Structure 1
């Protein structure tokens, strides 16, 4: 149950693939993040979906408009979800997420330092887990729909290193995943 982008999500048995509230098509699975990777001692998965059936027409960038979905799954998330036959549901490629811990920097500084030290390109950075989000616009930390408290940041995702792995965050945007530690609710949004 590693953190990754793409592939088929691991879900509990009763899971139903999310559909966009606007176009009613099935959403595209983007990523699953092991909560322990972002918050040591935590268990479970954060799974993120976003509508790509009519890019730009459904409000998939907004945490509450219905064009995206995020779920926190527990230890019962062990089976590959049945993938709908219609709509745009999967990325073209699966990418395992490797981690590099760089102390003393915010995300953008750590990303720049990593690219200098490894001599690899910025698009090879898939994002960050834990820490603080590096907002491209204003802080849009969502409040939990259940308890009305600000959610905890879990992951910031970059679009990906090539067209096969890329999520569509408006061309150069970032996605942000959150969860409520108290209620188990989750949310996702993106900015460009």
Structure 2
């Protein structure tokens, strides 16, 4: 089953729903991630609500293209799995490209057996309103790049594909988790 993520309108920056942009909702003690390459604060990209937990995605945009923000383990991006309970808005770093220009709700709409990338079969859905997919199978633009978990070395599970919510070089971003290890990974292709 494919579940499309549709443009659900703009929202407040701390709305606790799946969204692109705004402020991350984080547990106590959270430290905003820094890029390994430029040492600047990363940009918050998305809050993906999975019911029992949320996945928060960050990517360096201080010097786009210079910090390998497309690689899952090069240090230019980070993804986190947080329990859904007890989260509050993160403190915003004083410097860096840390926020997207707006906050957009990622409204989930089940869409049957049509695979992502088969836009002609979406029927009445306007392709410009589709901002990605939740679950299902990733639609790879290049080669398959499912990351292995840093904790257990097993392939991670696919969570979401994002399109047009941030600077992915005109391509797609992919979010993965290892639920047993509570690890997350993020990468993009163009």
TM-score norm. by structure 1 comes to: 0.88
Native 8 Å contact 1:176 1:188 kept in 2? yes
- Tell me whether 1:17 sits opposite 2:32 in the alignment: yes
Name the residue aligned to 1:189.
Answer: 187
Alpha-carbon offset, residue 85 of structure 1: 1.1
Q: What's the counterpart of residue 105 of structure 2?
A: 96
CA-to-aligned-CA distance 1:135-188 (integer Å, 9 cap, x gap): 10011000000100000000100023xxxxxx0101x11110010011001100
- Corresponding residue for residue 126 of structure 1: 131
Query: What displacement does 1:77 show?
Result: 4.7
Residues 67-126 of structure 1, C-alpha deviations (whole Å, 9 max, x = no match): 0000000134521000101010000100001122111211112x4333x414x2x23211
Q: In the aligned structure 2, how far is the partner of 1:186 from the partner of 1:112?
A: 32
2: distance between equivalents of 1:126 and 1:75? 23
In structure 2, do the counterparts of structure 1 residues 96 and 5 end up closer, same or farther at CA, with 3 Å as the change threshold?
same
Q: Distance in 1 between matches of 2:188 and 2:86?
A: 25
The alignment status of 1:28 with 2:35, answered yes or no, reads no
C-alpha RMSD over aligned residues: 1.2
Gaps of 5+ in 2: 1-15
Partner Cα distance (1:123, 1:98) in 2: 14
Please state if 1:4 is matched with 2:9.
Answer: no
Q: Which residue of 2 aligns with 1:154?
A: 159
- SS of 1:123's equivalent in the other structure is helix
* Greater strand proportion: 2
Q: State the match for 1:164 in structure 2.
A: none
Work out which of the residue numbers 113, 118, 124 in structure 2 matches 1:117. 124
Aligned to 2:66: 57
Counterpart pick for 2:80 among 62, 66, 71:
71
Equivalent pairs counted in the alignment come to 175
Structure 1 residues 134 and 77: alpha-carbon distance in aligned structure 2, compared to 1, 3 A threshold: farther
Distance 1:30 1:57 in 2: 18
